[in-house]
Amino acid sequence: MRQSRITIDVALDDKNIPEQILWNATDSTADNAQKARAMMLSFWDGGDKSALRMDLWTKEMMVDEMADFYYQTIMTMADSFERATHQAELVDMLKTFAKDFYGKFRDIQLKENKL
């Protein structure tokens, strides 16, 4: 069996807030570790029937970037769900939610920036 390794290194400040996230993977074409401003990592525990999650973001992550990150994550989750289940109706619901979420975020940002 072939193995692949993904490594994530997180540099923390004195209050344990992430300052830097670096990742690399043995199957990546990148020669060096890649920077990220945020990450979401989820594992499914089949025994407990529960999701184990880790969400981290650095101090550099801007609010508009977080909205983009969530929008893109929900869209790619919908794509993964479609490949796994072929449930087109549920996939459409997820994608509609993602679009509505992002539209609402933009509306709120415009409203707040006018004040």
Lookup: tokens for 103: 């539209």
Beta-ladder partners of 24: 7
Query: Does residue 30 have a pLDDT over 90?
Result: no
H/E stretch holding 10 reads: strand 6-12
How far apart CA 53 and CA 74 sit, in angstroms, is 15
Contact 18, 57 (CB under 8 A): yes
What backbone phi and psi angles, to 5 degrees, belong to 21?
-120, 125
pLDDT tens digits, 46-88:
999 999 999 999 999 999 999 999 999 999 999 999 999 999 9
Q: Which among 63, 80, 8, 17 is positioned nearest to 39, based on CA atoms?
A: 8
User: What pLDDT score does 22 carry?
Assistant: 97
Q: What percent of the chain has pLDDT over 90?
A: 92
Which of these, 66, 64, 98, lies nearest to 79 by C-alpha position? Answer: 98
